[in-house]
Amino acid sequence: MSPMNNCETCPVHNKANLIKLGLNMEQVDFVVAMAGNPNTGKSTVFNNLTGLRQHTGNWPGKTVSRAEGGYVYNEKRYKVVDLPGTYSLLSTSTDEEVARNFILFGQPDVTVIVVDATRLERNLNLTLQILEITDRAVLCLNLMDEAQRNNIEIDERTLSKELGIPVIPSAARRKQGMNELLNAIEEVATGKFVCRPHRIKSRSSKINHAIAEIAAKLEAQFPGLPNTNWVALRLLEGDNSIIEAVRSGELGHINASESGKINTGVLTIDA
Amino acid sequence: MKIPFILEIQPGAMLIIGLLLMLLMFWIFWPKRGLLALLSKLKINNQRVHLEDALKFLFDCEYKNTICNVNSIAGNLNINMEQASRLVERLISMGLITMNDEAIRLTDTGRSNSLRVIRVHRVWEKYLADETSMAPADWHNEADRLEHFVTVEDTEKLAAQMGHPVYDPHGDPIPTIDGELPSPKGKPLNQMKAGESGVIIHIEDEPKYIYEQLVVQGLYPGMQVYVIHVIENKITFAANGEEYTFTPLFAAHLTVELLSDKAPEKQKHDLLSSLSMGEEAEIAGISPHCRGQQRRRLMDLGIVPGSLIAAEIKSASGDPVGYRVMGTTIGIRKQQAEQIFIHRKKENHYESNE
Amino acid sequence: MDPLNTDLKKEQILSAANTIRWDLGMDFHDTVIESIYEDASRIARKSVKQKGDKGAYSMDLKIDRIVTSKWLGFPLMFVMLAVVFWLTIAGANYPSAMLSAFLIDYLHPVLNHAAASIQMPWWLAGVLIDGAYLSMAWVISVMLPPMAIFFPLFTLLEDLGYLPRVAFNMDSLFRKAGAHGKQALSMSMGFGCNAAGVIAARVIDSPRERLIAIITNNFSLCNGRWPTQILIATIFIGSVVPAQIAGLASAGAVVFVAVLGIVFSLVVSWGLSKSVLRGEASAFSLELPPYRPPRILQTIYTSMIDRTIFVLWRAIVFAIPAGIVIWLVANIHIGDLSIAQHFIDWSNPFALVFGLNGVILLAYIIAIPANEIVIPTILMLTVLNSGLSGMGAGSGVMFELDSTADTASILHAGGWTLLTGVNLMLFSLLHNPCSTTIYTIYKETNSVKWTVISTFLPILLGLAVCFFTTQIWFMIMG
Ligand SMILES: Nc1nc2c(ncn2[C@@H]2O[C@H](COP(=O)(O)OP(=O)(O)O)[C@@H](O)[C@H]2O)c(=O)[nH]1
Ligand SMILES: [Mg+2]
């Protein structure tokens, strides 16, 4: 039985808790980023949460400009940013840079990774990359209705344990699973749920050594940096925005304990 | 009303005038060979070209540990002895080289100047290879042309955009801005012994005619080679399941880094394009000829070693073919499918639900 | 720590990373990605189970086998597109007529009366009502209904997942022209509106092919140009054939022009990919998403907001100043003649070499905001220029006539021949994009160079085609 429609009685199923704010987003308490592959239903989830009507369509690549919206849940105000859909964060395309820079420097309090349950493996590629950057994420296992029609069964517990973050099955088009998602976002944002994100295990020892060497140097220069290994890896890949962040010292402002709503001035997120 | 002159021309004459005008336009605007293109080429300063080419050549000699004199400069730059000696004099007076018993050496300033030119050249080669659809044989020439008039700032911007590349498409390291360069690795293929295996790390791109032949033969940096036997004037080796026999002169254009720990791959890969409808196989890799954005896209879509791929539907016109990989059907053109290597499974039991 | 020291340390980190990169070798990036996939695949194996057959997916495959089959693939596609176009053209007639009856026949005189009653100066009323208002009214009544039908239909096909299959089937044709299969879609979208077609080229993620699709989109005969084609074909082509087949012949001529547009867009795509765009990066990828039942209401809503209103708004913004210019050139006099007449007299000899006339040239220059107002402008200028009395609504006031015969008599009086008609049809296909489209091209490419090329290339082509048609015509006709 799918867990997404058995929640008539559970406490989170309370529509009154949610107030959609549309574009009105002053003085937010938390920033939520929506990331994921193209065509996984990000905009549909976004529309459900904020009450806006972003263009959705069955065609990869149609969300071109970034959208923002807001909602109030349990008296806390949230700002949601719908990032462009990407397959990866490791290449040098503009879209990927926008998404990557926002997750790293924009320091959202929670990153919601919307994945297609019928193509989990490919979607996990991006998920794992995001989990290397940020410690606070929720996996929205969307399109569960399609997975069911295809007789695909996903063991959410195992998945959640492997990834170290909450996993919420949903069918955004039917508005199923949205309350559970809101709740999970809240738990991660307020620190009730502490994520232990998965780290890549199958790297060769040569690469791991290289990463460790650079990471140690970074650690000395920028103590408290939450994702040193990832930054080291990016330096080894020659990522210009990270190199610039090291040079300007901006990297030092990223801090594990603090959320970065103040920090948006450094962003160029308009695609 | 007076009939304007233009209307009195005979239609036949008019047609010819029109055709001539069109030809004229083509002649002016044609890319590469048109008048505008030629004019822009004229703007390049010949003296600067020679100076920079000479510096590059001298650095190359130094890197390879060979001795270089006026004669070899003349040969490399394709100029006569008189021009070459004048060039050398100029370089000496600028304090870029010293001459000692015929042998020419770079001074420190000369070396850093030549490293700068080399950096510009290699960064642009990398750019042309990855971010444009220029043919491999043209990368070097185009970079040779560009290196003399692009600015250092443009080059650095480009390098930053590409993620500060450290290797050019021929496998050569790109010097840093500060002029650092790793010491040469590997050895020429003609010095390898039978039974040794390694990875091609460099294909010399000059002279052009040898380089082009090597490319046509399908050799590329990153390819594994395994030397089968060496007899005096022939070296025979295997790469990607093909056997090649080269003369030492040819083989010297390939630099190989020896592999000690990895067993050489001897099996020949099949190409994805050879898969028939409904057949499934495991992906072995993507050819290095597939570069830049195209390569990234394929990897994004799940074309990585080890994943399973099945040919599923043909488009109404036969090409592209829809392949199913990681739960998604993607259309791949034949030309790309020929750049994706697969391992066929021993038995093909593709479970389709027909 | 003093800042100098810190900077030094940072540079040390960077240079250490750079040194290691040489050791990591050329395929470092690939290995990094591969190891992530390896983890992903391990996690997926642990948590995903496929029970029994793949239900919906095998259904998708069955549908795909039909829509991409050798025999059915193309016919199905043509039927689908034909239905969309038929619904658009047939369905738009009625609302268009209603809008025009209200905005132009009813509201325009009312506004004029109102202006007179408050004693507005005649020139101000002319600029505001006959110029700005009228051109806006024209654009709305001609443009809105077809777009409001076409875009939702198209978006429904998009949402269903059928469009990627069209791209998949058409790819081999476009590949030969150096373009991407998805260009089939931006092209079809261009039949509705070129500005929307240019935006639709976003789905092409390869830079070179996307530019090709943008530059050649103007060769798709857009909604704003169909009425011109039909009118001119009826008047000039229909009249040279026996009356029984007049309808058929003129319809055939219009279809011929549209197909010619497709041919031009393929040939120009090929030419571009072989010349100016040869060096641009190119990467092919085409995902075939699963079929999904579209959500009709939501689709209609978003396609209205995202496409119809968006494009209409841009068109109106450009049409208002154009209306003012049109009125002014017809009403400002230098000596005895208006600016418009001066220009027409001056350009006529050149225009005749191309088989056109000064009126057409002027109309295409001042009606650049929207193809919809070309015919009304031509009629107004013809009446103005040939001094026909009792026709039209005054200088600077664009108009159209209900009867084709009356329109024909105005044009004949203006010196139009069959050749002029043929050339106008060709020129209407091959001329600069409307200003909305030009602006959209600039927005999408962010480059003045490509905007200029997309603007002038079709004009040059159009002039060349008209020129050769005319001169060969003269040679044959003696
Ligand atoms: N069946 C089903 N379809 C969905 C679901 N969520 C989204 N979709 C559809 O998937 C397509 C892509 O959605 P969209 O939100 O535009 O994806 P995005 O590209 O990630 O922003 C649209 O056709 C949606 O209607 C879902 O839970 N179930
Ligand atoms: Mg979206």
Using H for helix, E for strand and C for coil, what is the string for A35-66? EECCCCCHHHHHHHHHCCCCCCCCCCCCCCCC
- Statement to judge: residues C13 and C91 lie in one domain: no
Give me the pLDDT at residue C454, please.
95
- Statement to judge: residues C308 and C433 lie in one domain: yes
**Three-state secondary structure call for residue B255:** strand
What is the Cα–Cα distance from A19 to A74, expressed in whole angstroms? 9
Number of separate domains in chain C: 2
The amino acid sitting at B294 is: Q
- Statement to judge: residues C35 and C169 lie in one domain: no
Q: Is A148 in the pocket of ligand 1 (CB under 6 A)?
A: no
Give me the pLDDT at residue C276, please.
81
- Statement to judge: residues C21 and C159 lie in one domain: no
What is the Cα–Cα distance from C150 to C197, expressed in whole angstroms? 12
- Statement to judge: residues C183 and C324 lie in one domain: yes
What is the Cα–Cα distance from A239 to C395, expressed in whole angstroms? 64
Taking the alpha carbons at both ends of chain B, their separation in whole angstroms is 80
Cα–ligand 1 centroid distance for A94 (angstroms): 23
Q: pLDDT, tens digit, for every residue of C67-87?
A: 999 899 999 999 998 898 888
Domains and CATH numbers, chain B: 35-106 (1.10.10.10), 187-258 (2.30.30.90), 270-344 (2.30.30.90)
Q: Is A38 in the pocket of ligand 1 (CB under 6 A)?
A: yes
Over residues B291-318, the mean pLDDT reads 90
CA angle C268, C270, C272 (to 5 degrees): 65
- Statement to judge: residues C456 and C375 lie in one domain: yes
Q: Which of A93, A118, A240 sits opposite B164 (nearest CB)?
A: A240
Please say which residue of C50, C67, C84 terminates a domain. C67
- Domain of residue C334 covers 74-477
Give me the pLDDT at residue A257, please.
42
> Residue C370's pLDDT band (boundaries 50, 70, 90)?
confident
Taking contacts as CB-CB distances below 8 angstroms, the residues of chain B near C273 are none
- Statement to judge: residues C38 and C108 lie in one domain: no
What is the Cα–Cα distance from A107 to A115, expressed in whole angstroms? 21
Q: Is A84 in the pocket of ligand 1 (CB under 6 A)?
A: no
Nearest to C424 by CA among C384, C391, C369, C379: C379
- Statement to judge: residues C158 and C216 lie in one domain: yes
- Statement to judge: residues C50 and C147 lie in one domain: no
Please say which residue of C67, C89, C111 terminates a domain. C67
Q: Is A66 in the pocket of ligand 1 (CB under 6 A)?
A: no
The model's pTM is 0.85
Pocket test for ligand 1, best of A34, A56, A141, A170 (most atoms within 8 A of CB): A56
Please say which residue of C12, C38, C67 terminates a domain. C67
Cα–ligand 1 centroid distance for A43 (angstroms): 7
> Residue B267's pLDDT band (boundaries 50, 70, 90)?
low
Helix (H) or strand (E) holding B227: strand B224-231
Half-sphere exposure of C439 (CA within 13 A, CB side): 13
What is the Cα–Cα distance from C192 to C176, expressed in whole angstroms? 25
Over residues A12-34, the mean pLDDT reads 71
Q: Which of A119, A237, A243 sits opposite B328 (nearest CB)?
A: A119
Percent of chain C scored above 70 by pLDDT? 97
Interface contacts A/C by beta carbons within 8 Å: 166
Average pLDDT of the residues of chain C: 88
- Statement to judge: residues C54 and C95 lie in one domain: no
Cα–ligand 2 centroid distance for A58 (angstroms): 9
Cα–ligand 2 centroid distance for C213 (angstroms): 23
What is the Cα–Cα distance from C110 to C103, expressed in whole angstroms? 10
Give me the pLDDT at residue B287, please.
86
Give me the pLDDT at residue A25, please.
61
What is the Cα–Cα distance from C411 to C373, expressed in whole angstroms? 16
Contact of A231 with A242, CB cutoff 8 Å = yes
Task: Indicate which atom in ligand 1 lies nearest the CA of residue A58.
Answer: 23
Give me the pLDDT at residue C343, please.
92
Q: pLDDT, tens digit, for every residue of B113-145?
A: 889 889 999 999 999 988 888 887 788 888 888
B30: contact with C, CB 8 A cutoff: yes
Q: pLDDT, tens digit, for every residue of C2-35?
A: 566 778 888 888 888 888 988 888 888 899 999 9
Q: Which of B133, B293, B322 sits opposite C279 (nearest CB)?
A: B133
- Statement to judge: residues C47 and C170 lie in one domain: no
Give me the pLDDT at residue C190, please.
92
- Statement to judge: residues C381 and C255 lie in one domain: yes
* Chains touching A, CB cut-off 8 Å, 3+ pairs: B, C
